[in-house]
């Protein structure tokens, strides 16, 4: 271990976020190591739920 590769985390120092779809906290996973800063959902299911809703409320054309 000599600092090679991307940032590493131990179990105790795993970054956490709150899923914007279900509101549950989730911890960093290796599969998110490249785009952790963009992760908003704890799972693909939540991402599907989240992306189904418009992030910004737009006035609907009547």
Query: Which residues would be at the binding site for Zn ion (CB under 5 A)?
Result: 19, 21-22, 42, 46
Supply the minimum distance, in Å, between the C-beta of residue 49 and Zn ion: 8
Q: Which residues are paired to 29 by β-bridges?
A: none
Supply the minimum distance, in Å, between the C-beta of residue 15 and Zn ion: 16
Our CB check for Zn ion shows the closer of 8 and 25 to be 25
CB 23, CB 42: distance < 8 Å: no
Our CB check for Zn ion shows the closer of 33 and 48 to be 48
DSSP 5-45: SS----GGG--EEE-TTT--EEE--GGGTTTGGG---SSHH
Our CB check for Zn ion shows the closer of 9 and 39 to be 39
């Amino acid at each position: 271990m000599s600092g090679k590769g991307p940032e590493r985390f131990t179990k105790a120092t795993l970054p956490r976020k709150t899923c914007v779809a279900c509101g549950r906290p989730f911890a960093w996973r290796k599969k998110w190591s490249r785009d952790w800063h963009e992760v908003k959902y704890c799972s693909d299911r939540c991402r599907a739920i989240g992306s189904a809703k418009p992030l910004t409320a737009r006035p609907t054309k009547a």
